[in-house]
Structure 1
């Protein structure tokens, strides 16, 4: 049996639009068993999710290795779908890793990242899911540039996952078609300074900049109304660092460990319509283990 484990991710991290992401400790697990005549995918996603060669993970694998021998596979995941936590990226990487392993392609992580980025469109989710930890990445249509993004060791990710879904396509449609030169310069400066602050461990500066995004949060605020609610609650507790995870609607607050409990307790009492989780960074990224 071959086991492939891929972490969830939180992309954008405030002003780091389509470029900054971090791996979190929720996981998709793909278990590969015996060869079969046809692909047999066992999952708990319901009848709308294909259980044959039309399954997204299998189709992704076949895009890399078209002649791959069918197998019986089991997919388990605690990454919620369409919530801004990289569910599609984790499935995509699982498929590519399956093809690489079963097909004995011997592709490096760099090649897997390139393939995943081409399929995904941008690397801010797939890069941290592959490498673990925080990652800054950029794709120019030809090459993927990436570097580790240093995050403080003493923070937690207080995460609110609403009950409702928000498809990436819908969230993309809410974005403005153009930004003025002046606004673009300001937005880029905020993102650049955030990355620099994180690189030297200046979390006091970074947590403020995380809330100063000008690329997407304002345009998507009507799709994720709990962003301002949770941000205001955190501010009342003198906690700064709340942002919209990916395209949303999940809301994450980067919280020093010493302040985590008071924020969790306060938000729990509000009975918000969704799930409240305490998450941490995953520093391992995609993992493959083999058992005879």
Structure 2
């Protein structure tokens, strides 16, 4: 029995929507989980190609395999003994790692969803997408990347309890992702944000987050104002100065550009950018917005 899954990259925050807004992109990791008749070699049960293939483990310490085992234990306690030992995983990674495109959230969502497929196959209940969101939020700490990876499109999420709401998109069909050749750990990016901010700043940021919904749903002309974050990007400027310089240059040309997630990738809510603005070392990816979230298929 084989379970195939595709899970999209995501861009969180979108400027002012810190830890709450997320957008699914048509950049997918593809995974194939096989349930064998006999146990497989635990030290070589994962095969990875593509992004970060050489750096990722090939045994059961791989993040997706760990999540599968944890979710089977917690959500499907009646799973027959030895099922985990009979699993092998093939991954084709296309989502850049440590660049602010939700690679870890995608892996966690994939592991939870695949565990649900296995658990249902061996006699347990189906795992709802709402439950996938709850489990992913428990592991990620907040649902901004997990929600669009699960449901697709543009989402606004609450953390306590984890819930997500889809926002209809009427003005933006394609975006441009500018991916630097450097990485940034999310915890480093979080560590430079102050513990508290002034009420006036918070109010202004809230207004722009609300305006962002209007911009995506019905009026693209407000997206420049709506993406003018006051909460986190400037505080992180020293963590990714080249990316902020790129954001500044694009915004000076009237393009709604923001840092994607914790960075250093830059997301532009436009289908193209001036080539002369983009440094040679930055990869330019033009992509559509994914509207479906992860998708699975059972074979055999």
Task: Specify if TM > 0.5.
Answer: yes
Counterpart selection for 2:146 from 108, 123, 126:
126
Per the alignment, residue 176 of structure 2 pairs with: 158
220, 224, 236: which is aligned to 1:203? 220
| Pairing of 1:78-97 with structure 2 (within 5 A) | 78-97=94-113
Q: What is the Cα deviation at residue 48 of structure 1?
A: 3.7
Answer yes or no: is the 8 Å Cα contact 1:15–1:213 preserved in 2: yes
The one-character-per-residue Cα deviations of 1:106-138 (angstroms, maximum 9, x if unpaired) are 111111111111111111100000011111111
Q: Conserved in 1, the CA contact under 8 Å of 2:130 and 2:163?
A: no
Determine helix, strand or coil for the equivalent of 1:229.
helix
Cα distance between partner residues in 1 of 2:179 and 2:208: 26
Query: Is 1:243 aligned to residue 258 of structure 2?
Result: yes
Deviations 1:5-45 (A, max 9, x none): 10000000000000000100111111022423344011133
Unaligned 5+ residue runs, structure 2? Answer: 74-80
Deviation above 6 Å: which 4+ runs of structure 1? none
Q: Tell me by how many angstroms 1:155 deviates.
A: 4.0
Alpha-carbon distance between aligned partners in 1 of 2:47 and 2:274, rounded to the nearest angstrom: 35
Distance 1:180 1:130, change over 3 A: same
Per-residue CA shift, 1:180-226, capped at 9, x if unaligned?
A: 22222222222123224433x1111133210x211110011122223
Matched, 1:43 2:48: yes
**Does residue 127 of structure 2 align to residue 107 of structure 1?**
yes
Question: 1:275 aligned to 2:283?
Answer: yes
- Counterparts of 1:1-292 in structure 2, within 5 Å, are 1-35=2-36, 36-39=39-42, 40-44=45-49, 45-66=52-73, 68-70=83-85, 71-104=87-120, 105=124, 106-140=126-160, 143-199=161-217, 201-210=218-227, 212-235=228-251, 237=253, 239-255=254-270, 257=271, 260=272, 263-267=273-277, 270-292=278-300
Change in Cα spacing, 1:271 to 1:185, as seen in structure 2 (3 Å) is closer
Aligned-partner Cα distance in 2 for 1:158–1:30: 25
> What secondary structure, in the 3-state scheme, does the structure 1 residue paired with 2:99 have?
coil
Q: Structure 1-normalised TM-score? A: 0.89
2:20–2:158 Cα contact (<8 Å) kept: yes
The residue matched to 1:119 in structure 2 has which SS? Answer: helix
Distance 1:276 1:198 in 2: 22
Distance across 2 between alignment mates of 1:153 and 1:38: 50
**What do residues 137-169 of structure 1 show as CA deviations (whole Å, max 9, x unaligned)?**
1112xx123211233454421111111100101
| TM-score (normalised: structure 2) | 0.87
Aligned residue pairs: how many?
Answer: 280
Separation in 2 of the partners of 1:192 and 1:271?
32
